[in-house]
């Protein structure tokens, strides 16, 4: 596994860069925590959590060019979409299923991200369908000689879907500029990793598709940044796709409709929480002298103000009228 004692300056990152990375991770965590509270209060219907995977998401997103690259995120990727331009207000509008939800106007479940202006490809509920879409975007980049890469994520359970094989095989054959990152959180809902894979690592599958495969510490945003940056540089140089496996841990149940106490022990969950990526990166920032407790506390207050404002706005925002249920489904008259 690629990790080690990385220092951000050796990766070309400034102190400001890593503070921004941490703030994006923290924003994702605080939005997610608020959504769980809203769900338990009966105000929103469903939560599918990013907690424990923020480091992988934000480290990867920061290694891409958010001004031109395309992303096909999976449902937990709050950290990715926040970096690419979605806001706390956007995400709360989606959670409340309000008319202003930029993903689908309140039609889709939370976590079905999509925003054309930020090159976020719309996701659907069947897992792994985003992979052929991302590969198709990369094919266009190669055919038109465009300087962008496509980035797609999924959970390790989804690597057993046919879309994974078809997408990666096509990308490998045609040497397309696409990066596939598997966020291995050890569970496909309730199925543990040892009952999902016949081999040890997801990244071992890369050799079958003719592309490099690497496993990284997904709890360390700098390790993920390094791996994705190298993959992006390869892709832009015409050297083809990369498969990255980021080892993470899902700190919550699969979703708000799941009870993980039925299949995870208290010790298992405690060990995962002891390796919380938010705490780890916070300690790194303090140990390297980048941040003080006062600075981090100020950042948390600022983030919570944004989350509070977004929550209040989304809760008060109007729902779509019933007659709009079929908008964007059937063709409409010219100019409508």
Q: Flag whether pLDDT at 39 surpasses 90.
A: yes
CB 77 within 8 A of CB 130: no
Q: How many CA within 13 A on the CB side of residue 45?
A: 11
In this prediction, residue 1 carries a pLDDT of: 57
pLDDT bin (cut points 50, 70, 90) of residue 297 is very high
What mean pLDDT is predicted for residues 266-290? 95
Q: Flag whether pLDDT at 4 surpasses 70.
A: no
Q: Flag whether pLDDT at 47 surpasses 70.
A: yes
User: What's the whole-model pTM score?
Assistant: 0.95
Outline where the chain has alpha helix (H). Answer: 15-40, 54-62, 78-83, 88-95, 130-143, 162-174, 221-236, 266-274, 277-287, 293-316
Q: How many CA within 13 A on the CB side of residue 59?
A: 31
pLDDT tens digit sequence for 162-217:
999 999 999 999 999 999 999 999 999 999 999 999 989 999 999 999 999 999 99
Evaluate whether the domain defined by 8-316 bears CATH number 3.40.50.970: yes
What mean pLDDT is predicted for residues 48-55? 97
In this prediction, residue 328 carries a pLDDT of: 80
- Domain ranges in the chain are 8-316
**Residues noted as catalytic:** 250, 254, 263
In this prediction, residue 2 carries a pLDDT of: 47
């Amino acid at each position: 596994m690629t990790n080690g004692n990385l220092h951000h300056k050796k990766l070309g990152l400034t102190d400001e860069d890593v503070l921004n990375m941490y703030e994006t991770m923290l924003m994702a965590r605080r939005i997610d925590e608020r959504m769980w509270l809203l769900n338990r209060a009966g105000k929103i219907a469903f939560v599918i959590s990013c907690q424990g995977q923020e480091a992988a998401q934000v480290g990867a997103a920061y290694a891409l060019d958010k001004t031109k690259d395309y992303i096909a995120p999976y449902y937990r990727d709050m950290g990715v979409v926040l970096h690419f331009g979605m806001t706390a207000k956007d995400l709360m509008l989606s959670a409340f299923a309000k008319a202003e939800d930029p993903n689908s106007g309140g039609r889709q479940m939370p976590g079905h991200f999509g925003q054309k202006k930020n090159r976020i490809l719309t996701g659907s509920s069947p897992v792994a369908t985003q992979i052929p879409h991302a590969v198709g975007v990369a094919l266009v980049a190669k055919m038109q000689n465009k300087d962008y890469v496509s980035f797609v994520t999924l959970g390790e359970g989804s690597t057993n879907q046919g879309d994974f094989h078809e997408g990666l095989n096509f990308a490998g054959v045609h040497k397309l500029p696409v990066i596939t990152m598997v966020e291995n959180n050890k569970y496909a809902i309730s199925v543990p990793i040892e009952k999902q894979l016949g081999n040890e690592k997801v990244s071992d599958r890369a050799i079958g598709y003719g592309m490099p495969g690497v496993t990284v510490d997904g709890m360390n945003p700098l390790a993920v940044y390094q791996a994705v940056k190298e993959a992006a540089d390869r892709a832009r140089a015409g050297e083809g796709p990369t498969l990255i496996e980021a080892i993470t841990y899902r700190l919550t149940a699969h979703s708000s409709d799941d009870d993980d106490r039925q299949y995870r022990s208290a010790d298992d969950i405690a060990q995962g929480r002891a390796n919380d990526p938010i705490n780890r990166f916070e300690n790194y920032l303090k140990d390297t002298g980048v941040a003080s407790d006062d600075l981090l506390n100020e950042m948390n207050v600022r983030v919570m103000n944004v989350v509070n404002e977004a929550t209040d706005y989304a809760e008060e925002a109007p729902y779509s009228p019933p007659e709009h249920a079929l908008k964007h489904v059937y063709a409409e008259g010219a100019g409508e």
